[in-house]
Chains A and B, each alone.
Chain A
Amino acid sequence: MLFVSFVFLFGFLPVTWVGFQVLARQSRRLGFAWLVLASLFFYGWWNPRFVCLLLISVTANYLAGQAIALLRERPYWCRAVLTFAVCGNLAALAWYKYLGAVAGFLIGHGIAVPDPGPIILPVGISFFTFTQIAYLLDVAWGEVERRDPLSYALFVTFFPHLLAGPILHHQEMMPQFARPGRHVFSGRDTAIGASLFVMGMAKKVLIADMVAPGVGWGFAHAHEVQFFLAWKTALSYSIQLYFDFSGYSDMAIGLARMFGIRFPLNFNSPYKAGSVIEYWQRWHMTLTRYLTQYLFNPMALALMHRVAGRRRLQGRRMTRADRFLWMVLVPMMATMAIAGVWHGAGLQFVVFGLLHGVYLSVNHAWRIFWPPGERPNVAGRVGSVLLTYGCVLVGAVFFRADSVTAAVQLLAGMGGLHGAEGPVPLPGAAAGLFGPVGPLLSRHGLVSFGDMSGAAGRYADAAALALIYAVIWGLPNTQQIMARYRPALGWNGAEPRIFPPWRISAGWGLAIGALGMLALTLHQTSEFIYFQF
């Protein structure tokens, strides 16, 4: 069931919300039990068969967690159960997500392997698998205090995050579920949640879906798109991805808030980042946190201990380059390769991950070996934001393309290797602005002064893109607008100075109602990009 579908908006959500408010008035746990049932129904709407998979996964992981907790005094058995449970989760993920793709790849390269046939990917499997692996690891590390089955089931299955995150951490969810007593309806929470939800829906419907058709066409014709169209395709996709995920994250946080539950922040204007490190601190923040906590840090520490021990035996000291190599470069490339593969089965995702691994390593190296001095001025900040965006854009091409070849072809088109659609039409008066370069550009067919045929379409496209970039770089995000009400966990930012901050007021009510109706009326039900992961 999609958040922007009518069956969700006018059927599932009102029934679930009213049911929760009624039952939770009797007992908070009764309300949570209702939410678990509703979430299973929500998941089963797509394909009832996979509700069993979800239930098996939740039950098995909960029991494994209990066993690990009981066996913590017996390290061998504890590690054995943990290994078995984590491998079981990864095996399920591998079966549904990667087996078909790997078999297809091998068969395509003439290697005889049994064809597993078409395997349907259960929606959200990457998210609920990762969430539960983290839980198991934390139980083994002694960091889980509350382990009651209802809270655990709700923690994993709660519908706002079930299909595409945010990736929750039990330490921020379980205490919210464990509050005793009865739930009291909060008009304030409902207003905050509904507003966030509507703003997210508007981002998805009015911007992301608007640019989507052009993106699909451009990537499908990556081998032939020329300079301007190739750039337009790549830029449009980066816009689509940005608003699709931003919209989804707002909707998920808003939905949870309507039920009195606060989710962690997942998206914080990543295109405003001045470095790739900062980008990953703002983009899919819960995934970055997960990867850092459960992959990068343990890997870096293990490597460091091993290498440092070896160096001690050899009587040598670790140099700064050694530390960078073993604490940053190697674990970073491994983590980002896994992050890439987590997004999908395909070499293009591996390239995407490795590319970001290189970006991040270079960024870290720059900070370590050439630490920046004073804060950059405005021009420096603009330059670093644009450079970061350029790097991210190249990665996004691999992220979206059907194959590495298609991505390289589109990048070739962006580099002008497929030619250009014709000179850029400019008014004759503009020739003077170019000085001696003007005739040179004109002679090479890059611009045409005075001939404005076909200019309207191109300038309209450019204006549309410029308007969207003005929104991305010029306006505050939803968290900033609603800063006073702390809509998400982990957000302590200030309210914007220029933009009117959100309040529970008549004016904002009118604005949100109008935006919601606009989004509803213009909506065409389409999936969120992150649902495929």
Chain B
Amino acid sequence: MPRAPWLRFFACLLLGGVAVWVALAAWIMLAPLSVLGFDEVQVLAATALLERCDPVRVVVFGDSRPIFGIDPGSLDTSVVILAEGNASPVVDQYRLQQRLACARKPDLVILSYILPAFVRVNANGFWTNGAFTHGLGLDEQWAVMRAVAPGLFQPMQTDAAETYAELPFGLKTVLYRSYFPVFYGPSVLNAQQTGLRSRLESNERVRDLIMAGHGHLEGRMAGPGRRRHWMSGCRTAG
């Protein structure tokens, strides 16, 4: 240990910070459902569905709309929804590669995003070179994206994707969930405000519902957003 008292003080200060960081990271990894927010549970459920590699004919990627809008139970074919709220095409490119690596490939992949995510906005706030991409195949979507925003969207580098894909699943989970627990700060705070037990129960219910619905989530369900805040009694944002 350093001799100067203030140096020792700052060394220990660093150590204390790291200890709390590790403790929080461990908590998030070991019991994610007791702390994560509503959106994060959707991502976890979608990831679990992806890893299950169910033999299905249709796979849906995209943002939150298909999560609520497409009900696999009402369709006469096997469908799984791997969409996420505020999905990014670049992330979905990688997730699609993961899905296509499954033994049985889907016959159809649907990509659904909010249009402004693909277009540039000029200084006056108007879209320039806007184009509808819905209903196009993946290659055509990439072509459109390259046309409207050259260089803005790039497929993930194959080498990087392969390197990441080679990592054991457990390690990937550690990296994904713990590389910066600050991202989960608001979730931890909300979890403390609403109560860890109720957060866990609510998240388990949401995850089970998403898994049972093959990715579909009923819009009117009582999610965390329906809970009451501990001080105000008002509905929490989830």
Contacts and interface: CB of A to CB of B under 8 A. Distances in A.
B6 A187 contact: yes
A233 interface: yes
B16 A509 contact: yes
Contacts of A513: 12-20
Contacts, number: 129
Contacts of B17: 513-514, 516-517, 520
B2 to A, nearest CB: 10
Contact of A512 (B16, B186, B193): B16
Interface in B224-238: 228-234, 236
Contact of A210 (B1, B20, B192, B228): B192
Which secondary structure dominates chain A's binding surface?
Answer: helix
Nearest to A235: B231
A214 B229 contact: yes
A96 B107 CA distance: 64
A90 interface: no
A513 B1 CA distance: 16
Interface residues on B, range: 35 or more
A524 B16 CA distance: 21
A217 interface: yes
Interface in A190-223: 190-191, 194, 209-211, 213-218
Contacts of A461: 230-231
Interface string B1-15: 100111111111111
A516 B6 contact: no
A518 B10 contact: no
B83 interface: no
Interface string A472-506: 00000000000000000000000000000000111
Given A514-B17, A521-B188, A504 B5 contact: yes
B155 interface: no
Nearest to B228: A457
A343 interface: no
B142 interface: no
A508 B9 contact: yes
Contacts of B6: 187-188, 190-191, 504
Contacts of A507: 12
A517 B230 contact: no
A328 interface: no
B12 A214 contact: no
A464 B1 contact: no
A522 B16 contact: no
A510 B6 CA distance: 12
A514 B20 contact: yes
Given A510-B16, A521-B182, A505 B231 contact: no
Nearest to B231: A214
Nearest to B236: A213
**Interface size range of chain A in the complex:** 35 or more
B21 A510 contact: no
Interface in A376-420: none
B16 A464 contact: no
A523 interface: yes
A213 B233 CA distance: 10
B85 to A, nearest CB: 19
Nearest to B235: A217
Interface in B1-47: 1, 4-21, 24
Given A213-B193, A213-B234, A521-B182, A512 B13 contact: yes
A215 B16 contact: no
A214 B228 CA distance: 10
B31 to A, nearest CB: 16
A213 B5 contact: no
A229 B234 CA distance: 11
A511 interface: yes
Contacts of B228: 457
A236 B7 CA distance: 40
Contacts of B233: 214, 217, 229
B213 interface: no
Given A214-B229, A236-B231, A521-B24, A505 B185 contact: no
Contacts of B231: 211, 213-215, 218, 232, 236, 461, 464
A513 B186 CA distance: 20
A516 B6 CA distance: 17
Interface in A165-194: 187-188, 190-191, 194
Contacts of A464: 230-231
Interface of A: 187-188, 190-191, 194, 209-211, 213-218, 229, 232-233, 236, 457, 460-461, 464, 504-518, 520-524
Give the 6 A-B CB pairs with smallest separation, nearest first. A214-B231, A513-B16, A509-B12, A187-B6, A214-B232, A217-B232
Interface of B: 1, 4-21, 24, 181-182, 184-186, 188-189, 192-193, 195, 228-234, 236
Given A461-B230, A505-B8, 5 more contacts: A214-B232, A505-B5, A509-B8, A514-B19, A522-B189
8 contacts: A213-B232, A464-B230, A504-B5, A507-B12, A510-B15, A513-B13, A513-B18, A514-B17
